[in-house]
Amino acid sequence: MKLLFFKSNIFMQEDWLETLQRAGYDVDPITYVFTDYMEDGFFAKKFRRRLQKISYDAVLSFNFYPVISDICQEFHVTYISWIYDSPIPHFHRYDTPCNHVYHFDRIEVEELQSQGCAQVSHLPLAVNTERLDRQLGILNEMPEYRHDISFVGNLYTDRSIQSRNFVSSEYIQGILQGYAAAQTQFFHQDIAMELLENSPYINTHAFSQDFPVESLARAIQEEATHQERIHLLWRLSQHFPVDLYTSEHVADAGNLRVHPAIGYYTEMPHVFRHSRINLNINYRTIRSGMSARLLDVMGCGGFLLTTPQPELFDYFQPHRDFVAYSSLEELEDKCSYYLSHEEERHQIAKNGYEKIKKAHTYEMRFPALFSALHKHGSFTSV
């Protein structure tokens, strides 16, 4: 069988491609960065020529591209897309018959299915543990640590309410920032839409398909992520050494040591393995799913301390495979505890690492990813 693997500017794609090739699949890569996911004449011409020249059993990509879907339908080629971001705005194109869409977030899947998107299924993300073990070595003994607490990620200053400036009124901007501040107090519940629907200041009936009220709710969640990350990192660094790796310009403050962004395939695994505590502050628009960051930290043999995420509790056991916190006070207490309990912390990291290797590799996802092809007799396993 023959697969065409679409590559863009997505950080996990090399792991999926490597694992397919290692498993013996015949895979051709094609690389392109869209400026318009819906229509792109240059790419469409290039893509059609490829499908005319070579017969493929399926086209694969991380995230969903409507222009690829349209051309796959034209050529009667199966299109398998695996969503790692949330939310994705192209759901109205999901139900083209050629599509098999796998989404990492169960709540998003349930909502899409309720809207009639029968082609969408739930599938958690995965880790290329063979690559990580090649880089880092198999986790047995406690590693030599470089950092006490590290956080790898952006503060999303560019996605704050103020910087985006899509609401012209400074007064309304202030209201939305207040709603975001309220959202940061709820670790287990999404209240953005509820705040908007009950707001005396926002007329939710004035929104349109071009800018639905859900877009404003997402903006509140992004502002909440921005506020939360700044607040938690600043407060935590008042008590502990914290190393922040980010592409944003942030001034060092107290025990907060700021480093430039690091490569996903190069430095990042070493930071995860060699930090006593890897802090995760979840991106608020992710409703239930396990982000790649959660799985990557554990797959590297790092100790994960994270804001709670529903699906993480479905697959991993708290205080055995990872640790969660639900308030700033709990975060400070758990940092203090696990920094001083080395053996317990290392055992939790090792448990998470072993569970990733056992149940959350790319190879483990192949039966689900290719199930529809097997079912319809259009695909033969290697």
**Helix H or strand E encompassing 279:** strand 275-280
Cis amide linkage into residue 29, ω under 30° from 0: no
Residue 61 lies in a domain: yes
Closest CA to 334 of 290, 296, 278, 258: 278
Q: Is the pLDDT of residue 382 over 50?
A: no
Residue 191 lies in a domain: no
pLDDT score at 210: 67
Q: Is the pLDDT of residue 381 over 70?
A: no
Instruction: Give the helix ranges, DSSP H, for the chain.
Output: 13-22, 41-53, 66-75, 106-114, 129-136, 161-164, 170-183, 192-197, 213-236, 267-273, 292-299, 310-315, 328-339, 342-359, 362-369, 371-375
SS3 368: helix
Per-residue pLDDT band for 326 (boundaries 50, 70, 90) equals very high
Q: Is the pLDDT of residue 343 over 60?
A: yes
Residues 151 and 258 in one domain: yes
Vertex 277 angle, CA 271 and 280, to 5°: 85
Residue 319 lies in a domain: yes
SS3 300: coil
Residues 109 and 151 in one domain: no
pLDDT score at 301: 98
Residues 86 and 145 in one domain: no
pLDDT score at 378: 47
Mean pLDDT of 78-98: 82
Residue 67 has what DSSP assignment?
Answer: H
Range of the domain at 239: 129-159+225-359
Whole-number mean pLDDT of the chain? Answer: 92
Helix (H) and strand (E) counts in the chain: 16, 12
Residues 254 and 344 in one domain: yes
Residue 168 lies in a domain: no
Mean pLDDT of 62-73: 94
Alpha carbon distance 156, 382 (integer Å): 43
Residue 286 lies in a domain: yes
pLDDT score at 177: 93
pLDDT score at 372: 72
Residues 7 and 56 in one domain: yes
Residues 368 and 266 in one domain: no
Closest CA to 221 of 280, 156, 268, 270: 156
Residues 94 and 115 in one domain: yes
Question: Is the separation of the CB atoms in 159 and 283 below 8 Å?
Answer: no
Residues 13 and 71 in one domain: yes
Number of domains in the chain: 2
Report how far Cα 337 is from the mean position of its chain's Cα atoms: 28
Residues 246 and 334 in one domain: yes
pLDDT in tens, 298-317: 999 999 999 999 999 999 99
Could you give the C-alpha distances from 193 to 36, 178, 180, 189, in angstroms and in order? 29, 14, 11, 11
Q: Is the pLDDT of residue 286 over 90?
A: yes
Residues 49 and 95 in one domain: yes
Write the Ramachandran bin of 254: left for phi over 0, alpha for psi from -120 to 50, otherwise beta.
left
Mean pLDDT of 205-211: 73
Alpha carbon distance 30, 4 (integer Å): 7
pLDDT in tens, 118-145: 899 999 999 999 999 999 999 999 999 9
Q: Is the pLDDT of residue 54 over 70?
A: yes
Q: What is the CATH number of the domain that holds 340?
A: 3.40.50.2000
Residues 108 and 136 in one domain: no
pLDDT score at 96: 86
Per-residue pLDDT band for 72 (boundaries 50, 70, 90) equals very high
Question: Which pair of tokens denotes residue 350?
Answer: 């090792």
The one-letter code for the residue type at 47 is F
- pTM greater than the 0.95 cutoff: no
Which residues is 79 bridged to in the sheet?
59, 99
| Residue 379 burial (10 A CB sphere; 0-12, 13-18, 19+) | middle
pLDDT score at 205: 79
Write the Ramachandran bin of 153: left for phi over 0, alpha for psi from -120 to 50, otherwise beta.
left
Per-residue pLDDT band for 380 (boundaries 50, 70, 90) equals very low
Question: Is the separation of the CB atoms in 14 and 24 below 8 Å?
Answer: no
pLDDT score at 213: 83
pLDDT > 90 in the chain, percent: 76
Q: Looking at per-residue confidence, does 162 or 73 come out higher?
A: 73
Question: Which pair of tokens denotes residue 204?
Answer: 């939710």
pLDDT score at 253: 75
DSSP-assigned states of every residue in 327-343: SHHHHHHHHHHHHS-HH
Residue 342 lies in a domain: yes
Q: At what angle do helices 129-136 and 13-22 cross, to 10 degrees?
A: 100
Residue 53 lies in a domain: yes
Residues 367 and 266 in one domain: no
Alpha carbon distance 188, 42 (integer Å): 45
Residue 258 lies in a domain: yes
